[in-house]
Structure formats: C-alpha cells, structure tokens
Structure 1
Amino acid sequence: MKNSITKPIKNLPTLMARLSIPVMKKLNLFLSIFFLLLSIPGKAQETKYQPSWTSLRQHHTPQWLMDAKFGIYCHWGIQTISYQKGKENLSNDELIKQFKGEKFDADLWANLFETAGAKFAGVIGWHGSDFKHWDSGLSDYNSAKMGPKIDIIGEVFKAVRKRGMKTLVSYHSIKNDDWIDFAKEGVDKYEPDIFWVDASFGGTKGAHGEKTVSRSKYIGQAKSTTQAFQEKYQRELIAYFYNKAIERNKEVEFVYKSNDIPPSVGMRDLENGILPETAYDVWMTDMDMNVPPDFSTHGWFYREGIPLRSANSLVDMLVDVVSKNGIFLLNIPPMADGSFPEEVTNNLTQMSKWLRQNGEAIYGTSPWFIYGEGPNDIAAGNHIFHHNNHFAQIAYDKADIRFTSKGNDLYATVLGKPEGNLTIRALNTAFKLREGGITRIIHLASGKQVAFDHNDKALELKLNNVELDEMANVFRIELR
C-alpha cells in the first residue's frame, strides 16, 4: 500500500487560489476581533469599585490573609510619654519634644515580628492627637519632621516587606472631614496591605441590636458639635483603597470595628474581644498584650508596672480565635525610646517556639463543623463581644479543646497539658467521624504516634508514652 501523504498534489496553484478567498476572510475576521478586544477596557477598569455599599460588597477577603491567621502591630507615639509618671498633664507640644525614639530600630522590630510567627505586621499611623506617624506632605505636624524625626510607617513597612511579610497600618483619630485626605495620602504613599480604622471611623460599635440609637451610642459624650464621620466619606475612602490596590495588582483588606460599615465590605474587628461561636465571615480581633487592672489604666501603649499576657495565654487565644474563623492581631507595646521590654520579647520567643512545632494547626487552616468543646464559655462583654477580654477575663484550661482542619487532616488542640488519657467527646463515631475513619494520630510537638480508641461515645487518646507540652498540645488526626 502506497503512502498517500507522499503522493504529489496536482494543480497546486489552482488549489491555492481557491483557498485564498476563505483564508483572507478568516484573517480579516481575526484581525477585526483582535482590534475590538484592544478597545475594550482592561480587567482593572471592569472591576473598578464605585463608592456605594452595593459595589463595595463585591470585594472578597484575600486568601493570603485568611491563611496568615496571626499578625502584630504596635502602639507607639507621644502617648507613650504621657503614660510616664509625672508626665500625664504635659501638652502635646511638650510630649513631642520628649518623644525621641533614640533606640528605635525598624529592623529589630520586624525581626521580632517575624520570629514570633506573625505573617503581617505594622504600626499605628495616627492616634489620640493631630500628630501623624508618617512623612506627610499635608501637615508638618508629624514624626518625620518633629519629635524623633522618623518616618515611622515608612521605616517599619520597609523592614517588614524585606522579610516577605504583609503590612498593616491603623488610623484612630477622626476629628474632621479632612481626615480622608490624610487617609488617602497613607494609601498612596505606603500601599498598606491592610488598612485598619478604629471606632471613630463610624462610631457604631455600641449601636447595633437597638431599635433606636441615641447620639451617645455613636460618638460618646463628646461636645454637641462633634459629628460622626460621614457615610459618603466612608464609601469614598474604601473605594479609593480598593481601586488603588487593583491598579497595583495587590490583594488588600479594609478592617473596621464591629458595625462601623455594612456587612461584607471589609473585615470586622473586635477590640480585645473573642466570639463565643464560629463566624461564617472571617473576622479579626486586635488583642492588647497589656492586662490593665481597670479602664482608667487601659491604653494600649506601654505603661510601666502594667502586667502582660503570658505566652501561654497568647497561644490559647490564638488557637481559640482561629478555630472560630478569626484572625489574631496582637498589639505589643514598645517603650518610649523605641525598644521593647524584656518581658515582651520573652513572651513572643516562647510563642514562636510553640508555633514552630505546632504552626501547621494554625497557618492555612479552615474551621471545622464546630470550634471545639470544653467547660469554659465566652462572656458577651460590653458592645457585644468587644472588650470581653480587656482584663483577661477569659480563662482556658486543659479541658478546653479547639478544632481546625487542613486537607484531609483534623487538628485537635488541647489548651493545656492533659492528665492521663485525653477524651474528645465531639469526635465520637455517631457525629462526623465513623469507625475506621481515622488512619493515625500524631502529637505534633513530639512527633509521636498516639494509640487511640474510637467508639460511639468518644475518641480516646492514650498518652502514657507521649511527652506533652506545658502549653497547648496539638494532635493531628489523619482521616481516610
């Protein structure tokens, strides 16, 4: 049999002439479509946000933030000076003169953040006065031109980014409508990955759940001329922030207090607060390392003599928050000179050791069907879970267990050191897991495989040969 492919083609010129007309038509059609596509606005223009809640609701929380779970920021500024004994009544101008930051080193800060296990980090940009913490072109009343002569945001961001971490800036002081100009300047100049605004952005953290809203619910006991920040400016700023991120091909998040803006526009934050149940939208808590004895000594800045949360407490809160679909943002207080107290670095070092051994149960995880089990409940606190842990009221112990999941693995974290065997009632064979559904269980810190019994009453782990941690203990339950 002859190979037809090698057979000569007869009348080739005639054949080419016949083909030329449809080929040219196809070519012309292709070129027409190509140039039409060039005339259509690009993706960034198509997805541009309008300053309306309907448009802004199209935003989605970035996956990197949902995976990060843990971040750190710092309250540092002239208020740190005002909390020193005998300096409580100094004017802002005098405080600025004394705010020198002579031991400030952004690289040391960023190294501490990274070592602790944080995946994003930053610093307050504006808090409590008109004094800004960046090199502003709109006002000379800032830390780059006065006081320490340091562009605090700029230096911290540069050091944080050098380590491959995401950045956060927080704005707390809203006194006039021109606040939006300073906020936009921060977005333009520093390109934060997370823009976090305090309660003064909306002032509504105490207003939800009420049939009527009194003025004091929004803006406290301020003068009658004081107004809450205008809604149109809220929408304008958030749209500006999101659109700038599109231009820069960045995925960012806007974080706000409780009910300051409508749902699904950004990420809700609870100040020193923890939810009692799993939330179906990712949320954040900003938790202060300080544990003040009362509200009069509460301030987020360093204050000599105020106790700090222990590493054990920080780990327990991190695990609890993550199990409920939350992000844990920790405030650590630098001293006035820009250095950190030894207790702060010691606590973060202990926390980092725990995360190195057990981080797979935190980073990149998802919540499970239920957050956990145990006897200790979360109190509502004031402002609906805001401030319910201002004074370390929330107590955890070895009977409290929290769940997270990743891939085909379920993580059970015991918030303490179990005594004897560990019984997990929620993981019985009558609920979500069935007999034979577990292939093996590993204690993460020691790497040891754990023997177990699994029945319709509970999952029981045999721990007699396992070296347990004094802090939280994590067990990876590998499922079929």
Structure 2
Amino acid sequence: MSAVAHAQGHAGQGSQALAPADPLPITGGTFKPTADSLKTYQTPAWFRDAKFGIWAHWGPQAVPRSGDWYARFMYVPGHPHYAHHLKHYGHPSERGYKDILPLWKAEKFDPEALMDLYVAAGAKYFVSMGVHHDNFDLWKSRHHRWNALAMGPRRDIVGAWRDAARRRGMRFGVSEHLGASHNWFYPSHQYDQFWPKMGADYDGADPQYADLYHPKHDEPFKGNPDTWYTTDPAFHKIWFNRIRDLVDSYEPDLLYSDGGLPFGEVGRSLVAHYYNSSIAKHGGVDVVYNCKALGSGEFYPEACVQDVERGVMSGINPLPWQTDTSNGDWFFTDGDTYKTAPDVIRMLADIVSKNGNLLLNVALYPEGNLPPESQTLLSELAHWMGTNAEAIHGTRPWAVYGEGPTETTAGAFKESAAYTAQDIRFTTKGDALYAITLGEPRGRVTIAALGRNAGHERRAVQSVRLLGVAEPLQFQQTDAALVIDLPARMPTRHASAFRIAFGA
C-alpha cells in the first residue's frame, strides 16, 4: 500500500496478461469472464448502507516496527529498512525476510475484544488482510506452505477475524495484495554492493525459497513502466488458485485487490466465480469486489466498487465507491504520526456525502494489541457515533454534497484537508436531510444551500434538531440561507449533525 508502488503503472482497459491456456475452474452462472458481463454488476444495498468499515492491515511486516513495505526495502541498501534490518537481524544474505516470519507470534491477538471496540466505533464491516505483497498467507492455505498456520502465530488469522465479525452481525471482507508480489519482491534476488558483503547474494536468490520470494526474473528491468502486475502466466495460475481458495474457504462479503483487476481473463474469471458463487448461495450478488484505477491491470468502474487509496472524490460519484486509509502507517512503526478522531470523522462525513464508504485501517502492534493512539481513536469514534450514527449509516447523497470554504483535492494520496465548522456535508435518509459540520460550531450555523433561493429544495424547512439534543432548535430560513441558533452546550465534539425536516 504505497504511492511508490502505484506510481509504477496506471490502470487502463488494456492488459499485458495472457489468457489462460486452459479454462479456469469457476462456478458457472450469470457472470462470464468478460468485461461486458462483469459490467452488469450492481453494488448490494448492505455496502451502500454500511458507510464505515475497519481493516486490519496487519501481518509479519509489523514485527520490525518500522512501517510499510519492510519485506521489500530491507533488501535495498540506503533505505532505512535495510539499515534497520542489518542492525537488528543481520545481513539479508544470511537472515532475510523468511527469518522475520517466525518472529510474528501475535501473542496478544484477541479478535473478540477488538471486534467489540470496532462495532462500538460504528464499523458495519470488517476486512482482514489475506495476503500482502510479502507472499505470506494469513489463512489455512491449501496451496502455499508460507502461511500463518504453518509458522509464526500458528493460527488461522483470517478465520479468527471472520468468526468474531460474523458473531456480531458484521459483514466480513478480505484483502489480497498477492497480485503485485511477483515483481514487488524482486530486490530479494539481488546482491550487496558494499563491503564487507560485496557481491553476496541476498537470501531470495536461494532456490529453496523460490516459493516465498518467487523465481528469479528481470521483468522490472525491461523498460516497461507497467510492472505492478507480472505477465508471467505461471504466476497468474498461482494467484488464481490461492485467491480462489481464500474466497471459497471463507466466503467473504468483500474482496479487495490492491490495484486494477489483475491478469486479464484470469482475474476476470476469479471475479466472475466470486459473483456467481454469491448468486448460488444468496439468489443474487451480495458481495463487493474492490479494485483501483491505479497500478497496472484492468479497471471497469461498473464491474467493481472503486477504491481510492488515501484519497477522496471531488463530488458525488454516480456509483458507490470507497476510500481506504490508515490512522497511521500501513504497518506499525515506532514514533509514527496518527490521525485523530476529528480527522477521521470529518473525512468520513465528506466521503459519505459523495456516495462513498470509508475503510479505515486501525494500526495494531505486531503482537496484536492496540497502540494508545488507536485505543483513543476508537473510544472517541464510539462516543461520536453513539450520538450521530443516524446521519451516516443507511444514508444517501443529497442534491449537493456540501458547501464551505475548504477545497478538497480529488484522487489517490490526496486526503489531507483542513476543514472548518463552516464546511458542511449533507446526507439523506427517508424524508430527513442531515447537515454535518466538519468542525465544532459556535453560536450559529449558516447553511447557504438551504436558503429559499438556493434552488435545491422547494419545500420549506419545518424543524431542525441537533442530534443528541431532545428539544428542537430555533432557526430562520431566509432567501439567502438557513440560520440555526445553537445551544450553549454541544452534545459531541469534532463535528455536529443536524436533522432537518421539511413541510409538505
């Protein structure tokens, strides 16, 4: 999960992936492995209602407590991860990433207790990491010996998360980052260029570990910038078998790919299988496939739910979509800077007003427990959601997404915005309109979009309630704006939600 990775390529309608030599084993049904067939997909109502999900982007790369992409950059001299590895674990020709894997014990991992916190914080779906670019499966993998049952925690991490989520009525998802692993891991095959280990091959060059680091290849050096996904059909088959095993074994409600739809017909076959399997079980498509308009691969916005990494849309998107982000680095790092509750709440309101969902990774220590910053975030989200959830869950966009002085920049890796109480976002549910301030208002709130001459609503405002306050508020609707008088004490911090009702 990094801008560095996604800068390697761009998504498009074309793909350099080869078609499979033999038909892939998929569940037959409505969907075929073609773009036109997959474009008939419709997002299920549960996802549109959920609005907020929590993700455990967590695995053995958290062990060094140094942040994202450790398994790659520990093989790149000059990078901080290389220096950290040399100091704490030894030279990567002797002790490589394979030696980090057994150190991930997850000895404080309590999915039941964590899921209670996630539910209280307002999450309606939960996503478990299935496999990151490090090529380590977090489930009882039928096709790969490098997995969490065989080493490290010696536990079915995906299964434990799934059971905890479903016991609480939450929808459950998995993320797969395996598609990019083949080329992402290529530094492990190189050699050191400095004394005293000049010319020493890293452990990825050892053939006995080729199923972890992948067979040696030079694809990233061939001058093709579109190298997020390999063109090697042998790896395409590996990817298909392992991700089908993940989907069939755990029946997730959501599957996330870290990039465009991988590998041409191979990827389309997997998604068709996923959708058809849902139809066979539920009588209709009740699952979500997330992919991105980033990284090489295919992207058809009608065929999936678009995911925007660490970014937002500029306005109301006609199709449901999702932001994925983290409260800190993607894997735990010492001395990190964290998003606070105001950051997350305001981002959530902005995204929901634009027909999107927020999937938030809440950083975990390598042992599986929460850092203090994550604990505080969940506690403050629980308090805010306890009062204001009705303005978020089950809502739909209004005529306009919002108003205010702060301009947001659309696109991936552009999530920062210094919102104010004058920035307002709108959601609707039934006959109610909700107006959410992206800051803590004082005295009065003025909403220009609800002025009689604004043209967005022909009905007059009948009543205004502040969520968390029993009595209706005093207001005045003029030609220019709706002006609301605030109580002396606000029920929640960070952002306030007003429920606005209209006359006939």
Shorter-normalised TM range: 0.7 to 0.9
In the TM superposition, 1:29-40 aligns within 5 A as none
Q: Which residue of 415, 418, 430 corresponds with 1:395? A: 418
1:212 is matched with: none
Structure 2, unpaired ranges of 5+: 1-26, 67-83, 183-234
CA distance in structure 1 between the aligned counterparts of 2:263 and 2:377, rounded to whole angstroms: 41
Q: Which residue of 278, 302, 312 corresponds with 2:316? A: 278
Partner-residue secondary structure (3-state), 2:421: coil
CA distance in structure 1 between the aligned counterparts of 2:51 and 2:155, rounded to whole angstroms: 30
Q: Which residue of 254, 272, 275 corresponds with 1:239? A: 272
2:113 is matched with: 108
Is the Cα contact below 8 Å between 1:66 and 1:282 reproduced in 2?
A: yes
2:54 is matched with: 72
2:412 is matched with: 386
Q: Does 1:454 align with 2:436?
A: no
Displacement of 1:46 in angstroms is 9.8
Q: Quote the sequence identity (%).
A: 34
Displacement of 1:60 in angstroms is 0.7
2:332 is matched with: 302
Partner-residue secondary structure (3-state), 2:400: strand
What amino acid is the match of 2:268? R
Is the Cα contact below 8 Å between 2:384 and 2:493 reproduced in 1?
A: no
CA distance in structure 2 between the aligned counterparts of 1:57 and 1:92, rounded to whole angstroms: 40
Q: Which residue of 232, 255, 261 corresponds with 2:290? A: 255
Partner-residue secondary structure (3-state), 1:276: coil
What amino acid is the match of 2:412? H
CA distance in structure 2 between the aligned counterparts of 1:103 and 1:267, rounded to whole angstroms: 34
CA distance in structure 2 between the aligned counterparts of 1:243 and 1:46, rounded to whole angstroms: 6
Q: Which residue of 369, 376, 400 corresponds with 1:346? A: 376
Partner-residue secondary structure (3-state), 1:313: helix
Is the Cα contact below 8 Å between 2:427 and 2:435 reproduced in 1?
A: yes
Q: Which residue of 445, 448, 464 corresponds with 1:425? A: 448
What amino acid is the match of 1:352? A
Q: Which residue of 173, 186, 189 corresponds with 2:249? A: 189
CA distance in structure 1 between the aligned counterparts of 2:266 and 2:459, rounded to whole angstroms: 57
Partner-residue secondary structure (3-state), 1:369: coil
CA distance in structure 2 between the aligned counterparts of 1:442 and 1:350, rounded to whole angstroms: 22
Q: Does 1:49 align with 2:31?
A: yes
In the TM superposition, 1:129-144 aligns within 5 A as 129-144=134-149
1:222 is matched with: none
What amino acid is the match of 2:331? F
Partner-residue secondary structure (3-state), 1:363: coil
Is the Cα contact below 8 Å between 1:366 and 1:404 reproduced in 2?
A: yes
Q: TM (normalized to structure 1)?
A: 0.79
CA distance in structure 2 between the aligned counterparts of 1:83 and 1:128, rounded to whole angstroms: 17
Is the Cα contact below 8 Å between 2:384 and 2:492 reproduced in 1?
A: no
Is the Cα contact below 8 Å between 1:439 and 1:478 reproduced in 2?
A: yes
CA distance in structure 1 between the aligned counterparts of 2:388 and 2:247, rounded to whole angstroms: 35
Q: Does 1:173 align with 2:178?
A: yes
CA distance in structure 2 between the aligned counterparts of 1:423 and 1:284, rounded to whole angstroms: 29
Q: 1:430 to 1:273 in 2, by over 3 A?
A: same
CA-to-aligned-CA distance 1:357-412 (integer Å, 9 cap, x gap): 011100000100111101111124xxxx11002xxx32111110000011111101
2:165 is matched with: 160
Q: 1:376 to 1:266 in 2, by over 3 A?
A: same
Q: Which residue of 457, 472, 486 corresponds with 1:463? A: 486
Aligned length: 394
CA distance in structure 1 between the aligned counterparts of 2:114 and 2:459, rounded to whole angstroms: 49
1:333 is matched with: 363
What amino acid is the match of 2:478? N
Is the Cα contact below 8 Å between 1:122 and 1:153 reproduced in 2?
A: no
Displacement of 1:433 in angstroms is 5.8
Partner-residue secondary structure (3-state), 1:366: coil
1:148 is matched with: 153
Partner-residue secondary structure (3-state), 1:476: strand
Q: 1:431 to 1:46 in 2, by over 3 A?
A: farther
CA-to-aligned-CA distance 1:252-289 (integer Å, 9 cap, x gap): 01010126421200100000001121111111000111
Which piece of structure 1 moves more, 60-69 or 166-175? 166-175
In the TM superposition, 1:355-374 aligns within 5 A as 355-374=385-404
Displacement of 1:173 in angstroms is 2.1
Is the Cα contact below 8 Å between 2:323 and 2:359 reproduced in 1?
A: yes
What amino acid is the match of 1:446? V
1:444 is matched with: 467
CA distance in structure 2 between the aligned counterparts of 1:170 and 1:47, rounded to whole angstroms: 24
What amino acid is the match of 1:388? K
CA distance in structure 1 between the aligned counterparts of 2:473 and 2:301, rounded to whole angstroms: 43
What amino acid is the match of 1:386? A
CA distance in structure 1 between the aligned counterparts of 2:176 and 2:490, rounded to whole angstroms: 45
CA-to-aligned-CA distance 1:121-176 (integer Å, 9 cap, x gap): 02111112121111111112100111110111011001110101000100012222
Q: TM (normalized to structure 2)?
A: 0.75
Is the Cα contact below 8 Å between 1:71 and 1:330 reproduced in 2?
A: yes
Q: Which residue of 332, 343, 348 corresponds with 1:313? A: 343
Q: After TM superposition, which residue ranges in structure 1, 4 or more long, deviate above 4 angstroms?
A: 84-90, 433-436
2:192 is matched with: none
Question: Over aligned residue pairs, what C-alpha RMSD do you find?
Answer: 1.8
Which piece of structure 1 moves more, 45-54 or 138-147? 45-54
2:104 is matched with: 99
Displacement of 1:466 in angstroms is 5.4
Partner-residue secondary structure (3-state), 2:117: helix
Q: Which residue of 258, 269, 290 corresponds with 2:307? A: 269
What amino acid is the match of 1:78? P
Partner-residue secondary structure (3-state), 2:275: helix
CA-to-aligned-CA distance 1:305-328 (integer Å, 9 cap, x gap): 101100111100110000000001
Q: 1:108 to 1:469 in 2, by over 3 A?
A: closer
Partner-residue secondary structure (3-state), 1:167: strand
CA distance in structure 1 between the aligned counterparts of 2:116 and 2:164, rounded to whole angstroms: 8
Partner-residue secondary structure (3-state), 2:63: helix
Is the Cα contact below 8 Å between 1:132 and 1:141 reproduced in 2?
A: yes
